[in-house]
Each structure stands twice: as structure tokens, then as C-alpha cells.
A and B are shown apart, each in its own frame.
Chain A
Amino acid sequence: MTYALVLNGCSKTYPDQAKALTGFRDAFLAGFPQGKTIIIFNEEEKKQSLINASATVLVELIKVERYQPETVLTALQNLEHESCRDFYLFPGDQAGSELSVRFASRMGGSSLANIYSLEAGAGSPVCRRAAYNNYLEAEFSLDRKPYCLSLQKGFSAHTGKEKPKPPEMKVIEHNAKELNSNKAGTGINGTGAPDDSFVLDYKYTESDETTNLESARFILAAGRGVKNRSGLEKVEKTAAAIGAEVGVSRPVAMNAWAPLSKLIGVSGHMTGPELCITAGISGAAAFYAGIEKSACIAAINTDPGAPIIRSSDLAIIDDYEPVLEELERLIMENKRIEGEDR
């Protein structure tokens, strides 16, 4: 069995992608012969740092003008059509998930998105991922090579048996333009796959919203119970005072009371703080997936039957506002006393 890790070096999340794929490889493909890493990149000056983060001896670079899925897919197809690997692993973001499904379709293989485990032995590989909005776990057997798999968002593995860094790396460089110049991508029916000519112009605007949710050690998460934007603003003030990072559930983000960058859950951030306090959150499984790695969850909700109560370590059945007010007072008082002691 052979494998390739496919990384998007055009993305700011590259270090996280590399870490997640390396962790997955070490956890589930440890007995396999050394695989290779394919890195899509667009900035020459970042090339060496991208290579350094690779977990395999063999690295193949594909340079693109910008990350454009049709171009990348065709380049991948042209690169791999003669020496197709058994497994292709993609990161758990939108781009990785897209590539895994479309690449498998073109290569006649099988794909699964958002997986968190793999059993790869002599028979058909078996993968697991969440289904039913994260309430159930589904297990699949894969029947057709290549097996193209994207990881669950926020996947992390601590196997404790990470392989040492390869002593010497072998790097092969390609250019998407050259790879695709003689051969268009081939669609599922043997006809030509689309290229990027459907895009007449484009403009990318970086978001000025920043968040540290994924590395935060203390999170205050707000849900539909805050009722409106001003309710959320109060929660944000409390969070700022007590030193917590604010996260929100999907209804809050969808009502635009908070930016999407604050969203926690399967379609937002997957967090793992030491402490997560939830206020006015019912605890739908899709949200809970984003906080389930918390060391401690304290929930505040008026409904004792809300799922978050069963899924928390500590719970207060009450309005969140007076509870947060008192918590803020206590934490601030403690900070003041500690400050005086110093």
C-alpha cells in the first residue's frame, strides 16, 4: 500500500494541515512504506518552509498562480495518472474536502470526507466519520482504489510515536501550467474536465476579523439564548473582562450577531480549551463537536432538558445573565486581590 499526503501551501492554515495529516499518517498508516507529500504552492519565498513541514522524504511541489480548484485538480490528475497511489489524504478544510471527492471521481476511486479513523489492512479499508449532524458515527468500507480521504476538521492525533524527521528529502518541482499544457483534465465520462477559463476576473479580500479560538485556553460561548446582537455584546464585554475568548453557536452567526469567524462547531472552529462556559446554548451535536475536547465544560441554560446539560461537566439551570454578572464580579475581585498580593 502506498500513500500521498496532499497539502495546500497557498493557505494560511498550511501548518495545521501538515500537522493533522502527519498525525493521521502516524496514527493509521504507520506500517506503510514511506509515502510522498504533494504540496500546492504559489509563493516561491515560502517554498522551503513548506518543504520543511513535510513528513515524508519525497516531496512533489506543484506551483500555481493562485489556488484555483479546477487548475489544481487537473494538475493532480496529470501528475498522478501514471503512478497512482493507493491512498490520498487531504486536509479537513473546504478545499481539502473538495479535492478528495472530485479527485476520486476523476481517478475512478472512492472518497470519504471528514473521516477521523482508518483501518487499512489486507482487505478493504474501513473508515469512520460522523453522520446525522454528529449524533451518530458511520463506518464505511471502501472498495475502489485510489482511496481519497479528507480528514475531519480539527483532526488531531497524539500517538506518542511520531516518526523522526527524514534525514534527507527528495524534492521534485512541477508547474501546474506545464503539467496541464499538453493534457486537459479528464472528466468522469472521458471528456475534457473544465479549466479555470470560466473565471473572468477575481478579487480576494482578507478578513480583518481575527480569532484565537482554536488555541484559546478559556472560552465563553454564546448561543441563541442571548436573543440579539446587544445580548451578545454584553457577553463579549464579560469575556473581555474575565480573559475569555468569545465563540458562538450557528444561530448567532447566521443571524449576523457575530462574525462567522467566531463560529464554533463542525462548520466553524474545533476548539479544546481548559475551560469552556456556555451561555444560552442548547448543545446541538454539531456545536458540541467543536467544544468536546474541552477539559471542563460549564453550561448555563434555563432548560434542564437541553442536551448541553448532559454533555457538560457542570451546569447551572438559570438565566445566563445574572450568573455571568456574578462570575465576572468574582473573577475581577480575585484578580484585584492577586494584584494587591504581588
Chain B
Amino acid sequence: MQILACFKVVPDLDQMPAGDWLVDDRFRVETGYVKNMLNPYDESALEITLRYADQARRGNLPLNLTALTIGSKQADTYLKTLYALRYDKAVRVASDRDIRFLPEIAAAVISEYAAEKNRADVLIMGMQSGVGDNAKTPLLTAEYLNWPCITGVVAIEPANNGTKNLLKVKSMVDSGILEQTVRPPLVLAVSNAPGTYLRVPTLKDKVEYGKKPVEVQEMDNFKTGLAAANTSGGCRLTGLKPINHRREGLIIDGETAAEKARILYHSYLRERLGKL
């Protein structure tokens, strides 16, 4: 099974001070001074893939894992960690283009890589990422490849002992879990998948596997990506501004926690609770 897991490195936006949400005339926001992180949905996708790999290796099933990201050199640290976690190949499509609101480009590059360079059976990635919040990339990738897509994925495992290259996919649907045996190729989109924080590599694996060079591909070499760049998917960003979440924020003072609770209750909550 050839699995291509795609991820994005994003700024930890929850660390941005409230007053620093400044948007310039090209709708850019300076986020470079906050630490970056794996997009949480992508992090789950990477870990779900590793859990599949654990099972596939135990069953001696053929397996090849590739991790792919689009972006700048800052992603290389994460790619090397993925090598240490036993991903076979770590690829970065180098680009400094502003594709925050152009998921069509990301989807075109991923689908071209999957079809022509990687021959992937399964593509897995997060459903959306903060910054653009487009919620389109896995869906468009499936459409560009003419592959089916399963959203809300929380786990994958080999099916039928892996003999027929089949997958068992668990996904959250409505208010339950859908478990399907499926035949690749297909695209899997991950959203909230509890308990799927990315594992930490051992020091031994870091030394043994984590030093392989990251494969860098230039985005200009992706012809479909460039063609897609000439369109905007029919949507043009025409404005970007901070959302005001501010309320009164009245701080209740007191000598002790219990005293503060009493003031809160007697002065503000009792009457309100009485009306419920």
C-alpha cells in the first residue's frame, strides 16, 4: 500500500496577542513571530497513518509511506521528524506563493504528485487548516483525481489481512461511526480524531532515520499546479479584518476564591439562574 500523507505547517494563532491582528493592503497578516505547529487535523492524519503502518508491518504487508508538504524550509524540521517516525520519504514542494486562500493550487499539486510521481493508493490529510480555513483541499484533490473521498476519518487499518490491498476505514458520520471496507484509490480527510496526537520518535530512531535529506521539488515543475494558479477557483479574496470578540470582561475581586464565587453568585448569577 502506497500512502501519501499531506500536511501543512501553520502558525499557532492562539498565541497571537489580541492587538496584533493587523491586516495589510494585500490582506497579509504578520504571524512570523509566533511559533509554528503542525496543523492539528493534519497531525491526526499523520498519526492515523502511522497506526495503520504499525499493523501493516506486523502483518508483513507491503507498505510505503510518503509525507508531503507545500511551503518554506521551516517545514523541514517536521519532515525530518516524520523520517524518524519511519516515513519512507519526506517531500517538500518549495513555494513562497501566497496560497492561503487558493486551495485549488494545493489540491492540483498534491493530485499531480500522487498520480505521476508517487503512484499513491491512498491520500490522507486534514480537512482544513487555520489561516485559510478553506475546507476544500482534500475534496478538490479527490475531484481532480476522480477518486472517491471519505471525510471525518478517525482510523484506518488493513482489511482481510491485507491480502487484497483493501482498507477498513472508520469515519464519524452524523452521530455515529461508519466502518467501511474500501478498495483504493481514495482520498481520506481527517477532522476531529480523539487521541491522535503525533507520537514522539525515539532517540535511536532519530539517529537512525531522522537524518535523511528532505526531497525538495519546485512548485514551478508542477504544470497542473501552475495552470490552477491562473484561476482562483471562482473565489477572490476581497477583504480580511479582525472579528471583535470583546465583551465587558468585568473582573470580580475578593480575598479568596470562595469570596469571589459568592460575589459572582449573589451579584450576578442568582437572579439569572432563577429565570432558567
Q: Which residues of A contact B (CB under 8 A)?
A: 11-13, 67, 69-70, 93-95, 97-98, 101-102, 104-106, 109-114, 126, 128-144, 187-189, 191-194, 196, 198-207, 217-218, 243, 250, 253-256, 259-261, 263, 267-268, 274-275, 282, 284-286, 288, 292, 296-298, 304, 307, 309-319, 322-327, 330-331, 334
The answer to whether B247 and A310 have CB atoms under 8 Å apart is yes
- Extra contacts, 15 of them, besides A93-B174, A315-B252 (Cβ < 8 A), are A69-B151, A101-B136, A111-B136, A134-B243, A137-B243, A188-B143, A188-B144, A194-B146, A202-B178, A254-B197, A274-B272, A311-B249, A312-B249, A313-B250, A324-B261
Give chain A residues whose Cβ lies under 8 Å from the Cβ of B174.
Answer: 11-13, 93, 95
Counting from the closest, the 7 A-B pairs by CB-CB distance are: A110-B234, A139-B239, A326-B261, A144-B234, A322-B257, A133-B130, A187-B146
The answer to whether B245 and A311 have CB atoms under 8 Å apart is yes
B223-262, CB under 8 A of A: which get 1 and which 0? 0000000001111111111110111111110001110111
The answer to whether A198 and B183 have CB atoms under 8 Å apart is yes
Residue of A nearest to B173 (CB): A204
B193-229, CB under 8 A of A: which get 1 and which 0? 0111100000000000000000000000000000000
Q: A288 vs B182: C-alpha distance in the bound complex, in angstroms? A: 37
Indicate whether B63 reaches chain A with its CB closer than 8 angstroms. no
Min CB gap B172→A, angstroms = 7
Give chain A residues whose Cβ lies under 8 Å from the Cβ of B276.
Answer: 217-218, 243, 274-275
The answer to whether B146 and A192 have CB atoms under 8 Å apart is yes
Give chain A residues whose Cβ lies under 8 Å from the Cβ of B268.
Answer: 296, 298, 314
Q: Which residues of B contact A (CB under 8 A)?
A: 13-14, 16, 18, 21, 23, 29, 40, 101, 130-136, 139-140, 142-144, 146-149, 151-152, 166, 172-184, 186, 191-192, 194-197, 232-243, 245-252, 256-258, 260-262, 264-266, 268-270, 272-273, 275-276
Give chain B residues whose Cβ lies under 8 Å from the Cβ of A326.
Answer: 257-258, 261-262, 265
Q: A255 vs B151: C-alpha distance in the bound complex, in angstroms? A: 21
Min CB gap B245→A, angstroms = 4
Residue of B nearest to A194 (CB): B148
The answer to whether A322 and B131 have CB atoms under 8 Å apart is no
Chain A residues touching B, majority SS: mixed
Can you list 10 residue pairs at the A/B interface with Cβ under 8 Å? A95-B174, A136-B23, A140-B236, A188-B146, A198-B184, A203-B179, A275-B273, A284-B14, A298-B264, A325-B258
Min CB gap B171→A, angstroms = 9
Question: Which among A110, A138, A253, A263 has the greatest number of chain B C-beta atoms within 10 A?
Answer: A138
Residue of B nearest to A285 (CB): B245
Q: A112 vs B140: C-alpha distance in the bound complex, in angstroms? A: 12
Min CB gap A328→B, angstroms = 9
The answer to whether B247 and A106 have CB atoms under 8 Å apart is no
Residue of B nearest to A265 (CB): B192
Q: A129 vs B250: C-alpha distance in the bound complex, in angstroms? A: 29
The answer to whether A139 and B183 have CB atoms under 8 Å apart is no
Min CB gap A147→B, angstroms = 8
The answer to whether B140 and A101 have CB atoms under 8 Å apart is yes
The answer to whether B238 and A140 have CB atoms under 8 Å apart is yes
Min CB gap B127→A, angstroms = 8
The answer to whether B134 and A218 have CB atoms under 8 Å apart is no
The answer to whether A200 and B183 have CB atoms under 8 Å apart is yes
The answer to whether A143 and B270 have CB atoms under 8 Å apart is no
Residue of B nearest to A263 (CB): B192
Min CB gap A12→B, angstroms = 6
Give chain B residues whose Cβ lies under 8 Å from the Cβ of A140.
Answer: 101, 235-238
The answer to whether A327 and B265 have CB atoms under 8 Å apart is yes
Give chain B residues whose Cβ lies under 8 Å from the Cβ of A102.
Answer: 139-140, 142-143, 149
Give chain A residues whose Cβ lies under 8 Å from the Cβ of B194.
Answer: 253-256, 259-260
The answer to whether A98 and B149 have CB atoms under 8 Å apart is yes
The answer to whether B237 and A138 have CB atoms under 8 Å apart is yes
Q: A128 vs B180: C-alpha distance in the bound complex, in angstroms? A: 36
**Given A275-B273, A322-B258, is A132 in contact with B265 using a C-beta cutoff of 8 Å?**
no
**Given A129-B133, A202-B179, is A316 in contact with B258 using a C-beta cutoff of 8 Å?**
no
Give chain B residues whose Cβ lies under 8 Å from the Cβ of A143.
Answer: 232, 234-236
Q: A256 vs B154: C-alpha distance in the bound complex, in angstroms? A: 13
Which residue of the partner chain, among B23, B134, B192, B235, contacts A141 with CB atoms under 8 Å?
A: B235
Which residue of the partner chain, among B101, B182, B245, contacts A198 with CB atoms under 8 Å?
A: B182
Residue of A nearest to B272 (CB): A275
Give chain B residues whose Cβ lies under 8 Å from the Cβ of A259.
Answer: 194
Which residue of the partner chain, among B21, B246, B258, contacts A135 with CB atoms under 8 Å?
A: B21
